[in-house]
Amino acid sequence: FGCAVNETIVKGIADAMVEYGFLNAGYTYLNLDCGWSNENRSQTNNSLIPNPIAFPNGMIDYVHNKGLLFGIYGDAGTLDCAKLPGSLGFEELDAQTFAAWGVDYLKYDNCYNSNISPIIRYSKMRDALIATNRSIYYSICNWGKESKKLLQSDPYIWGHEIGNSWRTTGDINPSWDAILSILDQQRNISNFSGPGGWNDPDMLEIGNGDLTVDEQKSHFSLWAALKAPLILGFDLRNPPNDTLAIALNEKIIAINQDPLGRSVEIVEFIEDTYEIWTGILSDGYVAGLFNREFIASFITLNFENHCGIHGIIAVTYLWDDDPFKGNLTDSYTVQVQPHGVVVLKLQVVEINS
């Protein structure tokens, strides 16, 4: 919807989250992005106010009454990215306003930041949110970088002390090239993500643009395995069937929500050909065999070299109707579709003596 949000859209999305099973699958928050606020603060007390035309009857109570949590958008600058009021200099007032409204999640953007250190700006809002005594998820959105004049440029380094998640890149768009570019930027930083603080490579673009089904599966699987926040950005009121099945795949969601909270790391990469991501789970291991080519390609996972495990390994597909592939030793080779991924769950059933 871009910045063109209104009460009708919010209610329709809330209804759809329940009707189509998103809430039951674990999608807890309904988050607004830019465009919800009035162009001026209140003349009475300088507080932020919703656009009275777009939101004549409010929005948060309806969402909460559906059993959902509500997320809102703000900015650590004088204006947000839609040139509506930002929170720089109004952190305490705006945090108290959000808490009084019942906000559960704040995405805090980075436009018009007056070239002030992000650590200073984002810390001020952190402190203001804590002072409200309301549990509000704090999503840092400084795009993974800052002005070259400033030293604190990488939020995955300082974000743990300030927020619950932090954007690691610029904005995504619904193109395969954008997805690959953002994925590539996660290679050396995935180990910074973990319980209490998560790398955020931006929202999912499944259901948008002209992505193929295999491209959507790859996008969803890799973001899930990276332990990224799974933020849907398509029109949930009219979900494409293929996209609906992808977004509601409970096995992939379980990888994302694994209680150990360990992100996968890249263990093999052949330029523009394929890559292998693996990681430990609370009850085994996960491996993503990702084909970057335009043609189908065979990819081999070596259990010991790629995962650090050996013995007899139970291999299970997480996208297959016939998931169990047997108890194997040494390695597993599979043909992966163009731009596709095969996601395997691995469990050691017997260790060789």
- Cα(303)–Cα(287) distance, rounded to whole angstroms? 10
Residue 9 contacts by C-beta under 8 Å, 6 or more apart in sequence? 1
> In Å, how far are 122, 195, 216 from 108, measured between CA atoms?
8, 20, 27
Q: At what angle do helices 118-131 and 91-101 cross, to 10 degrees?
A: 40
**C-alpha count within 13 angstroms, C-beta hemisphere, residue 10:** 30
177 as an active site residue: the answer is no
Active-site residue, from 80, 94, 104, 109: 109
Q: Structure tokens of 39?
A: 């162009």
- Cα(350)–Cα(352) distance, rounded to whole angstroms? 6
Q: Which of 309, 312, 257, 311 is nearest to 287 (CA)?
A: 309
**Residue indicated by tokens 């081999």:** 300
SS3 349: strand
Residue 191 contacts by C-beta under 8 Å, 6 or more apart in sequence? 263, 265
Active-site residue, from 171, 184, 272, 283: 171
61 as an active site residue: the answer is no
Q: Structure tokens of 202?
A: 């931006």
Q: Which of 132, 130, 133, 112 is nearest to 121 (CA)?
A: 112
**Could you give the angle at the alpha carbon of 204 between the alpha carbons of 127 and 78, nearest 5°?**
35
**Could you give the angle at the alpha carbon of 131 between the alpha carbons of 48 and 70, nearest 5°?**
55
Q: Supply the Cα-derived Rg of the chain in whole angstroms.
A: 21
- Cα(72)–Cα(105) distance, rounded to whole angstroms? 6
Which residues sit opposite 312 in a β-bridge?
A: 350
Q: Structure tokens of 6?
A: 């209104």
Q: Structure tokens of 328?
A: 């194997």
Positions marked catalytic: 109, 171
